[in-house]
Amino acid sequence: WLEPRRSAQLQEIENLLASDDQELIGDFSKPHLLPTVEGKDPGLKYISPSTLAAVLSGSYSGCIGSSVVVDCRYPYEYEGGHVKGAVNLPLQRDLEQFLLESPAAPQEGGKRVIIIFHCEFSVERGPKMCRFLRERDRRRHEYPRLRYPELYVLKGGYREFFAQFPGHCEPRGYRPMEHPAFREQLRRFRGQSR
């Protein structure tokens, strides 16, 4: 008795995908809320630094119930300056524990839960963690359901965001991954990340 229902659900998903699959969130239930920009990985949705600043300033508070900015940089980078309120999750096990084992609860009233990833430039670590969360979230739910259907990557990463919006950063600083004073920590974290 489930087959006709499953078939109808698959048909509905296929119809949504045929209409405009690039604009729907991960569970295909609605379009992305935030305006997106072109990014390196066409399979991910990127936002500009100004869009993140608008989220932090409350411009989307009528639609967003909860937003989590995930800083995928190493702790010494994060301590040198980060987006106010960002959580530092440099390793996959940290991300899995924080978002999937004790997940943020969706808000009442149909408001969205969005996750925004970044690293120093949002070229490697941030996008990799975004893909990792989506893959692990998919494993835990029956397709197309997801705990976090709306994921974004900050284009240009912390470096670009800090250059444009230092007032949204604490402390107001920027420590690059390749900082000479932290070579040993960089070596250790790169080893743990593999």
Tens digit of pLDDT for each residue in 46-97?
A: 999 999 999 999 999 999 999 999 999 999 999 999 999 999 999 999 999 9
Q: pLDDT tens-digit profile of 93-139?
A: 999 999 998 876 665 677 999 999 999 999 999 999 999 999 999 99
Find the largest Cα–Cα distance for the chain: 64
Angle at CA of residue 151, ends 51 and 90, nearest 5°:
95
pLDDT at residue 193, rounded to an integer: 73
Query: Angle at which helices 49-56 and 157-164 pack, to 10 degrees?
Result: 70
pLDDT at residue 104, rounded to an integer: 65
pLDDT at residue 52, rounded to an integer: 98
CA–CA separation, 169 and 2 (whole Å): 51
179 has pLDDT over 50: yes
Q: Which domains does the chain have, with CATH numbers?
A: 24-102+109-175 (3.40.250.10)
- The reported pTM is 0.86
DSSP class of 158 = H
Q: Percent of the chain having pLDDT more than 90?
A: 76
Q: Is the dihedral of CA 160, 82, 180, 129 positive or negative?
A: negative
Between the CA atoms of 165, 90, 76 and 53, what dihedral angle is there, to the nearest 10 degrees? 10
Catalytic residue IDs: 119
